[in-house]
Amino acid sequence: MKEGELVHLIDKKGKRYQISLKADSSFSFTRGTISHDDIIGLEEGSAVKSSLGENLLVLRPTLAEYISKMRKGSQIIYPKDIAAILMLADIFPGAKVLEAGTGSGALTMALLRAVGSDGEVVSYERRNEFLEIARKNIDTFFGKVESAGGSGKLVFKDKDVYEDIEEKELDRIILDLPEPWRVLNHVEESLRNGGILLCYNPTVLQIYKLSKRLELKYAKSFRVMGIYEVGLREWEIKGRSMRPEHRMIAHTGFIFVARKCSSPDS
């Protein structure tokens, strides 16, 4: 572990504490104090003991773990849905992807990893306060988490996607907006043939309206590939007992996927 890194300290109950390592600093919690100097130089996965004898595990956060602790200006897309989005939108190394809106940057970070160093993510957000939060979250993750890995090029735009999409020949467009049907005309012009449009919405009425608008006005340009809902339930093993957790992350949003194609009679 090096000075300047972001790490998680995990107690015996699984509670996480996020700290940025700094020489001559310390972290205090209900079970004592830990000097950052005792962590700097340790191998990841080591344990460190507080002044009151509490052992904590030291790990670099995964992206999902970082997202759970980062500052949020808006409701984020849950990691379970982010994982599905990366697969259903087929985000590949070197892809040029547009997302709107940026929100707190959770999906943006996953996209930047997936497109790789040769790819590009263009992110539209019309609320400056969200842009600033997202920018700090992204910079912190890729700058302070040693295991974050490389990322593609990121272009932030203080722009309303309902009004226009400037970029052309995009490989993928991902919309996390209340009214994605209002963007279909821009998507039709900016997405390359064979490209994928993915929309994320919390209610079935939004998905229904999007689907009908696409069917009535854009059937010659798009083919719906699927509508999905993702659930995630943990299990636990204690002694001779194995059972599902009483609580689970069930519905958080619907994922709508369509591909741009040429009309058979065009």
Dihedral angle over CA of 76, 83, 2, 120, nearest 10: -80
167-198: pLDDT as tens digits: 999 999 999 999 999 999 999 999 999 999 99
d(CA 171, CA 157): 18
Vertex 119: Cα angle to 191 and 70 (nearest 5): 100
pLDDT at 263: 63
19-58: pLDDT as tens digits: 999 999 999 998 899 999 999 999 999 999 999 999 999 9
Calculate what percentage of the chain has a pLDDT beyond 70: 98
DSSP per-residue letters across 73-137? SSPPPPHHHHHHHHHHTT--TT-EEEEE--TTSHHHHHHHHHH-TT-EEEEE-S-HHHHHHHHHH
265 pLDDT exceeds 60? no
How much is the average pLDDT of 1-6?
A: 96
Name the residue among 11, 176, 195, 53 with its Cα closest to residue 110: 176
pLDDT at 75: 84
Contact 27, 49 (CB under 8 A): no
Query: What are the residues facing 228 on neighbouring strands?
Result: 255
Q: Tell me the pTM.
A: 0.93
Which residue segments constitute the domains of the chain, with CATH numbers given? 6-60 (3.10.330.20), 65-260 (3.40.50.150)
